[in-house]
Amino acid sequence: MVLGQNSFVDPMNTPNLTNIIILNTLNSSATEGLRLNYVVNGLFNNVRANCYASASGGVLTAVNGMSLRCRQVGFCTFNNGSYGNGTYGVRFTDTFNFGNVWVGTDFENVEYCVRGDGSATGNNLFLGGQFANYMRAALSNAGGLSTGAYTVISPNFNNPPAWATPGTNPLGVAATVIDQTNFGGIRLIDGTPVTTPAVPASGVATANISGKRLLVTFWGGSVTSVSVNGFGIGISGSGSVMLPHAQTIALTYTGSPNWFWQPLE
């Protein structure tokens, strides 16, 4: 189902869809459920769009396509609804996708629940909802703005435990909440703790891939300098620094210190 012209000529303003089910069972990587081309100020209530998925013995083994594809979509609201059974639950492509809100939406049976590939995707908000049965990552941002592609607040992540282990995941990879490679621009606010990584070698930078602002506290050893995102901040010995999401921290030391990473949101 396509709203708006693929050429982006004559944008579609204020569409209102309610209680719509879109099922596309074509087994192809080109399969799409709902495509939005230059759609603005739309309201989508209880809309469900599914692509192609296959299962064996109740276990998902393959997925294809994009359930919801946003091509230059702005200021739209998606209430409830479900987008899944595809490679992507929702995928942002074709530059601008700004200021959209998803409330209580379900994304499941996918490789990626949410994926940003549009070069100017930003300021999209996901409130509550569920991100489940994802084979690679719940949240991924390869092309959107590195400073704020989307924010996810109070979600429920529900993935089969086996999918976090390579070899048991249907794709043979380790599924993670946030894509361990494409993590820039994702902000996650859910009140859960983060895992403190091992202290790296002196001067080696470690990236904050948690999606959260962190307070990094370090003590012991012999720290001579601290840098955040490559900028020295004039701290030595023991102390605490704030580490924004997607930025890096490096400790230079002559004796290895301890540190602890604590989320601030």
Could you report the per-residue pLDDT of 181-240, keeping only the tens digit for each? 999 999 999 988 999 999 999 999 999 999 999 999 999 999 999 999 999 998 888 999
**pLDDT score, position 58:** 65
Contact 121, 161 (CB under 8 A): no
Q: How confident is the model at residue 147 (pLDDT cuts 50, 70, 90)?
A: confident
pLDDT confidence of residue 29: 87
SS3 93: strand
- Hey, what are 170's tokens? 């249907």
Which domains, ranges and CATH numbers included, belong to the chain? 2-189 (2.160.20), 206-263 (no CATH)
pLDDT mean across residues, the chain: 92
Q: What is the pLDDT of residues 76-102, one digit of tens each?
A: 999 999 999 999 999 999 989 999 999
Rounded to an integer, what distance in angstroms lies between the CA atom of residue 195 and that of residue 202? 20
Token look-up 């209580």 returns 104
